[in-house]
Amino acid sequence: MNREVGKVKWYGGFNSKTGRPNDYGFISHMTNSEDLYFNKRDMKCSENSLKQDAIVSFYLKTVNNKNCNINYQSFDINLIQNEEDLDVIKTCALSNQVIFWQPIFNKYLQTCMSNKNQSVDELIALCIKKFNLLSTYQKDSFLQSLPQELYLISKDIRKLLQPQQAIKIFL
């Protein structure tokens, strides 16, 4: 069974019919449009961290509903930043959707660099590709988050820096 990735559509909130807080929510799957139900008991992380649009990893199980239709339900839900499964981290890091790769990209770079399972040139090319997917506002923080080793190795990455950023990074 493989871990999946998605975005929290919503969780919790007040249920006016029951007069109590909801202990469930829904996740939008990364690769298909199906919304996946989850319950509070299926979470590995704090319920306070499951805000709308949080990126999470999870397992899927099939369940039969009252009408004998098969539905999917997510369980073992955790924030993507806490993920340890390298395949899931890689899936997110290689996504072209900023919302999925941005929270995990640094972890991916660090893992690849320490395990030497990808060439530095490939990592540099990937960093430049990701940089070009970002808005102007996001580019500065992205550059500051890259490992210094990449700046020392790559002229192409150094060229992306504004002079004041270069000073900040190399000090």
> Residue 99 has what pLDDT?
92
Q: What is the pLDDT of residues 42-61, one digit of tens each?
A: 999 888 888 999 999 999 88
Instruction: Average the pLDDT over 125-140 and give the result.
Output: 92
Instruction: Average the pLDDT over 17-28 and give the result.
Output: 90
The token pair at 61 is: 């199980």
> Residue 77 has what pLDDT?
93
Q: Does domain 4-81 correspond to CATH entry 1.10.1740.10?
A: no
Percentage, residues of the chain above pLDDT 90: 44
User: Would residue 12 be called left, alpha or beta, if left means φ above 0 and alpha means ψ between -120 and 50 degrees?
Assistant: left
Enumerate the domain spans of the chain.
4-81, 84-170
> How high does pLDDT run on average in the chain?
87
| More reliable by pLDDT, 162 or 55 | 55
Q: What is the pLDDT of residues 58-88, one digit of tens each?
A: 998 877 777 766 677 888 999 999 999 999 9
- Half-sphere exposure of 150 toward its Cβ, with a 13 Å CA cutoff? 28
At residue 129, does pLDDT exceed 90? yes
Q: What is the pLDDT of residues 100-117, one digit of tens each?
A: 999 999 999 999 988 887
The model's confidence at residue 171, banded by pLDDT at 50, 70 and 90, is low
Are 134 and 98 within 8 A, CB to CB? yes
The pTM of the full predicted model, rounded to 2 decimals, is: 0.81
Convert the chain into a string of H (helix), E (strand) and C (coil): CCCEEEEEEEECCEECCCCEECCEEEEEECCCCCEEEEEHHHECCCHHHCCCCCEEEEEEEEEECCCCCEEEEEEEEEEHHHCCCHHHHHHHHCCCCHHHHCCCHHHHHHHHHHHCCCCHHHHHHHHHHHHHHCCHHHHHHHHHHCCHHHHHHCHHHHHCCCHHHHHHHHC
